[in-house]
Structure 1
Amino acid sequence: MSLVLSPSNRGPQKAAMPLRAFVVTLIGALALLVQATATQARGAPESFADLAERFSPAVVNITTTTVVEASTDSMPMVPEGSPFQDFFEDFMNRNGPGQGQPQRPRKSQALGSGFVISEDGYIVTNNHVIEGADEIEIEFFEDFTLPATLVGTDPKTDIALLKVESDVPLKFVSFGDSDIARVGDWVMAMGNPLGQGFSVSAGIISQRGRALSGIYDDFIQTDAAINRGNSGGPLFNMDGEVIGVNTAILSPNGGSIGIGFSMASNVVSKVVNQLQEFGETRRGWLGVRIQNVSDDVAEAMGLAAAKGALITDVPEGPSKEAGLESGDVILSFDNKDIDDPDALVRTVGDTEVGKAVRVTVFRDGKTKTLMVTLGRREDAENASMPQDGSDGATPEAPQSVELMGLTLQPLTDDLREQLGVSAGTDGLAVVEVDEAAEAFEKGLRAGDVITEAGQEKVTSVADLEARVEAARDAGRNTVLLLVRRSGEPRFVALGVN
């Protein structure tokens, strides 16, 4: 008996062929998509030549000349009356008069890089490239030179602005948005490394938000080769925008090891705009001393999270006029959340002088918003920070007590004089610190002065004991102390259990 396949039996077999083809096609498409995605993720350009050719004319070499005064004493130093004195005098003068006389001043030269930001000749570089220079000469890619004048500098960000006069419009580059640059993005550095002339190197962004030593630091770290002489040159993104100014390298031998730092363009552009308009910087000034909020400080204050900037002192200035107090924690400034003191410093510095801003603080377990009209930081740079005055309380008779690993004694006139504390200041002097105690671990030392506990003034040991007991009653494990050392205040949280 033979089996005859009917059309209905053959139907499924005919349908299976298109399904297999669809699956194969789908797999192939997915493979191509994965390959395309991988290629896009790498983002490796075929060449940097087009960028280099297009933007090299806006990058400049900078030569500075400084007049160095020669020593007025060119004779070797020998003791008066020494038997060698006559010998050295004869040696210095054996070729006739004039030997041993003060030499003429000499000129010293240094090299750096920069870039043109406008067709009328404004040039950005590092402050350390031109600092102290008597003459500044700009060499352009098209092989001509022009003298430059200094418009202004900002040592805090190591930025300087120069100006040249040209008969023809100059080729220039523009700043990009450094905030959108990502770790792993390709970048290209240009400049004058080791005096070799115009040079290009490429790499990626290794990290963002690096700080070296300045309070306004926001460096882009890159592995693009940066060497001496590259200082002041631009760091380009792949759109040909300047996202950084090459400033420093980390190196044990002075050469590039792939760890270079460029000041972010969003910092530089603000500085350049102010230098261009005013010839100087004009940063906002809040007028407070601040410190970080640690976990134990947050617990002592009843803060939900260890964030913000804790005010340790409020001298005469904008904040005092607005009602900010020592012990306040600044949580937001001008509607921007503040995570730490560095964020507050940068945000305030970027804010317009004279602007009235909302400052939200945490005080006595609640948030409070105050309006502060900012001053100018540069005007307050050299102002001394005054010490807290007396609150009129009369200290009790001297007595020592041990508490939380501290041996304490109320301030007397003699102790104030010994510790260099302002007359009229009240508090408890730290006479001794148990080295096995938490207080020693957190940096308290003999000679420190405790002026507040639990954000209330203390003038006696009894006051401190009351604040400690209040912290326990409130279910807290720590009490917050305001400690002064040589007039400098800081908050320290100590355990009370």
Structure 2
Amino acid sequence: MNDNVEFRRNYRPPAARPMSLLALLLVGVVAVAGFVLLRASRLGSPEPRAEEKPLAVQLAGESISQSRQNAIVNAASKAGPAVVSIGVTATRIVRGVDPLYDEFFDYFFRDFVPPARYYKYRETIPKIGSGVIVSPDGYVVTNEHVVQDAEEITVATSDGRTQPGKLVGVHEASDVAIIKVEAENLPYARLGDSDNLAVGEWAIAIGNPFGSLIEDAQPSVTVGVVSARKRSFKPGSSGRVYNDMIQTDAAINPGNSGGPLINADGEVIGINTFIFTRSGGSMGVGFAIPINRVKTILDEVKKYGRVRDVWLGFTVITVDPESARALGLPAGGAVVRSVEIGSPAEKAGLKPGDVLERINNRIIRDSDDALAAFGSVLVGDTFSIDVLRGSKELHLELVPHEAP
């Protein structure tokens, strides 16, 4: 057995020699120079060009930009310049109470001195509304109630010009007025087809209610949809008849009356007219006159210089159920009372005693319904009339003529 044990000395590497001072300085200079050059290259280098940006970033930017230029923006930019502010100065006669009136004096001396408790005076009333230029020769459409009793009319365009306006045509029953402006290079809006509307399509209400009240003359825009078509209302105290109105939830606020309701193509489909409200502001139930109705009135004004008076040539009365039984009628309703000789009604075949059942598919229950059906009639309109004559039901067509 070999009991010899061999021990070896552990190996130690030779100690490293310290780096010289000159070598340390060289390393430091190189490091600082590299950092400075790198920093300068980052700060001085230009931003990457669009084509050098990642494709996803480019597409995202283009998508946001395109989404801003939607149909509503494009439509408003087409029709907006044609929307005007209409300023009206109206005068009315007002009865006031004499502040010097003495009731005691009047009691004893009324036989000698005429009573002067009340007196009349003229009051100037400024009004403002909206309108839309519909032709390059300066025809402006607005509501009749905007220019009612007007003694002076001014039209302010969106480019800051203010022109005097002349009232050239009014159809009070339809609440439509036509104003003429003598100016050059006027923007105008294209007229659409209100018979071709779809419930639910975009409806954009534009108005210019501020006029010269503020420096910016640009119109305001609200957006909604066509909520319903052919809404009709019985005549109110004003005598106006609103037939086949367009209902929209686009906000129509005070001062926007007379402005256009446009579609997504920027075409005028109606004239904003009134709202149903409890607060005085918009509640999403607004109504506009169909533009096809306005076209007919505009054509009348251009061709004849006015809206011609209409001749129908018959009268109706309301017969209550009790009187209807006495007359042998199956029910009450609107009964033709008289027919003028040679009138459009006689030519259509109407006779006294006929019971009006429907006018243009509108059910007639009384004389107010008949008045509403014919309330906004124009010369040349065609009316389909279903009447009950005895036990026979007849279908007649009546075309109104110009009043003699």
| Counterpart-to-counterpart distance in 1, 2:387 and 2:93 | 54
Which has more radius of gyration? 2
Aligned residues: 303
**Aligned residue for 2:279?**
253
- Which secondary structure does the structure 2 equivalent of 1:314 belong to? strand
**Aligned residue for 1:10?**
none
- 5+ residue gaps in structure 2? 1-67, 107-118
**Aligned residue for 1:126?**
143
Q: 2:377 aligns with which of 346, 349, 370?
A: 349
**Aligned residue for 1:202?**
223
| Counterpart-to-counterpart distance in 1, 2:377 and 2:151 | 31
Question: Structure 2 matches for 1:76-115, cutoff 5 A?
Answer: 76-81=100-105, 107-115=124-132
Deviation at 1:369, TM superposition (A): 6.6
Deviation at 1:53, TM superposition (A): 1.7
Q: 2:185 aligns with which of 161, 169, 175?
A: 169
Question: Structure 2 matches for 1:6-155, cutoff 5 A?
Answer: 46=70, 48-67=72-91, 75-81=99-105, 107-155=124-172
Q: 2:290 aligns with which of 248, 253, 264?
A: 264
Residues 104, 128 of structure 1: alpha-carbon distance in 2 compared, 3 angstrom cutoff: closer
**Aligned residue for 1:365?**
391
Residues 55, 106 of structure 1: alpha-carbon distance in 2 compared, 3 angstrom cutoff: same
Q: 1:314 aligns with which of 326, 338, 360?
A: 338
8 A Cα contact 2:134 2:140, kept in partner? yes
Residues 371, 159 of structure 1: alpha-carbon distance in 2 compared, 3 angstrom cutoff: closer
Question: Structure 2 matches for 1:393-404, cutoff 5 A?
Answer: none
Q: 2:363 aligns with which of 295, 316, 340?
A: 340
**Aligned residue for 1:280?**
307
| Counterpart-to-counterpart distance in 2, 1:348 and 1:150 | 19
8 A Cα contact 1:126 1:159, kept in partner? yes
Residues 173, 73 of structure 1: alpha-carbon distance in 2 compared, 3 angstrom cutoff: same
| Counterpart-to-counterpart distance in 2, 1:374 and 1:138 | 34
8 A Cα contact 1:310 1:327, kept in partner? no
> Identity of aligned pairs, percent?
33
Deviation at 1:56, TM superposition (A): 1.3
Residues 292, 260 of structure 1: alpha-carbon distance in 2 compared, 3 angstrom cutoff: farther
Deviation at 1:292, TM superposition (A): 10
Residues 202, 284 of structure 1: alpha-carbon distance in 2 compared, 3 angstrom cutoff: farther
Deviation at 1:193, TM superposition (A): 3.8
- Asked if 1:236 corresponds to 2:262, the answer is yes
**Aligned residue for 1:189?**
205
| Counterpart-to-counterpart distance in 2, 1:186 and 1:56 | 16
Residues 293, 71 of structure 1: alpha-carbon distance in 2 compared, 3 angstrom cutoff: closer
Counterpart of 1:199 in structure 2: which amino acid?
S
State the Cα RMSD in Å. 4.0
Counterpart of 1:352 in structure 2: which amino acid?
G
Counterpart of 2:373 in structure 1: which amino acid?
V
Deviation at 1:293, TM superposition (A): 12
8 A Cα contact 2:243 2:373, kept in partner? no
8 A Cα contact 1:271 1:281, kept in partner? no
| Counterpart-to-counterpart distance in 2, 1:137 and 1:323 | 48
Residues 326, 112 of structure 1: alpha-carbon distance in 2 compared, 3 angstrom cutoff: same
**Aligned residue for 2:5?**
none
Residues 251, 76 of structure 1: alpha-carbon distance in 2 compared, 3 angstrom cutoff: farther
| Counterpart-to-counterpart distance in 1, 2:141 and 2:72 | 23
Residues 222, 45 of structure 1: alpha-carbon distance in 2 compared, 3 angstrom cutoff: farther
Residues 370, 348 of structure 1: alpha-carbon distance in 2 compared, 3 angstrom cutoff: farther
TM-score, with structure 2 as normaliser? 0.63
Counterpart of 2:185 in structure 1: which amino acid?
P
- CA deviations 1:344-396 (Å, max 9, x no partner) are 9359935528x9x99774434345577867444x66xxxxxxxxxxxxxxxxx
- 5+ residue gaps in structure 1? 1-43, 83-101, 380-497
**Aligned residue for 1:25?**
none
Counterpart of 1:54 in structure 2: which amino acid?
K
Residues 80, 209 of structure 1: alpha-carbon distance in 2 compared, 3 angstrom cutoff: same
